[in-house]
Amino acid sequence: MKKINKKIYFIFLFPLLLSAYDAERGKKLYFSAKCNKCHDSTSFTNKNRKVKNYKQLTNQVEACRYSTNADWFDSDRDDVVHYLNKEFYKFNTEK
Ligand code: HEC
Question: Per-block average pLDDT, block size 10, for the chain (95 residues)?
Answer: 68 59 94 95 94 96 93 95 96 77
Residue ranges lining ligand 1, Cβ < 6 Å: 30, 33, 35, 37-39, 43-44, 49-51, 57, 60-61, 64-65, 67-68, 70, 80, 84
State the pLDDT at residue 93.
82
16: CA distance to ligand 1 center in Å?
Answer: 30
The predicted structure's pLDDT at residue 94 = 66
pLDDT in the model for residue 48: 92
Sign of CA dihedral 80, 86, 91, 94: positive
pLDDT of residue 15: 55
- What atom of ligand 1 comes closest to residue 72's alpha carbon? 38
Residue 72's CB: how many other CB atoms inside 10 A? 19
Q: What is the pLDDT of residue 54?
A: 95
